[in-house]
Amino acid sequence: MYTEKVMDHFTNPRNVGEIENPDGVGEVGNAKCGDIMRIYLDIEGDIIKDVKFKTFGCGAAVATSSMVTEMVKGKTIDEAMVISNAAVAEALGGLPETKMHCSNLAADALHKAIENYKDNQLKKE
């Protein structure tokens, strides 16, 4: 059902946890399946220096959260904003159709964290 890469990111998730005093936080959930994801960003001069996540959900939800954090570390916020749901699933070698909504949550949480960062920057001006 799951690819080897999905299973690896589920059993050995990368970047789990919280960032103290994050520059941006994004949280999304899916009431239908019960998955909830929160992504924390540490950004220095437009570069994502660190990213962490906390996810409550199925194996695919954990794997997509882990993968999206790996995909964005070291990228600019503009590069991170174009990471799509399909790109997350593709990076994992695909997901079963019934689990594609999980990749949507991961990218959505990332985008919300970036939007939160941008909002925070405007408040500082």
**Does residue 41 contact residue 19 with C-beta atoms inside 8 Å?**
yes
Indicate whether 125 belongs to any domain: no
Phi, psi of 65 (to 5 degrees): -60, -45
Active site residue 58: no
Number of domains in the chain: 1
> What are the tens digits of pLDDT across the range 38-94?
999 999 999 999 999 999 988 889 999 999 999 999 999 999 999 998 899 999 999
Q: Which domain holds residue 90?
A: 4-120
3-state secondary structure of 15: coil
Per DSSP, helices labelled H in the chain are: 4-11, 59-72, 77-81, 85-91, 100-124
Please pick, among 102, 106, 113, 114, the residue that the annotation labels catalytic.
Answer: 102
Indicate whether 83 belongs to any domain: yes
CATH number of the domain to which 12 belongs? 3.90.1010.10
Active site residue 102: yes
CB atoms near residue 45 (< 10 Å): 6
Predicted model pTM = 0.92
How far is CA 87 from its chain centroid? 12
Please pick, among 25, 33, 47, 58, the residue that the annotation labels catalytic.
Answer: 33
pLDDT-derived band at 101, boundaries 50, 70, 90: low
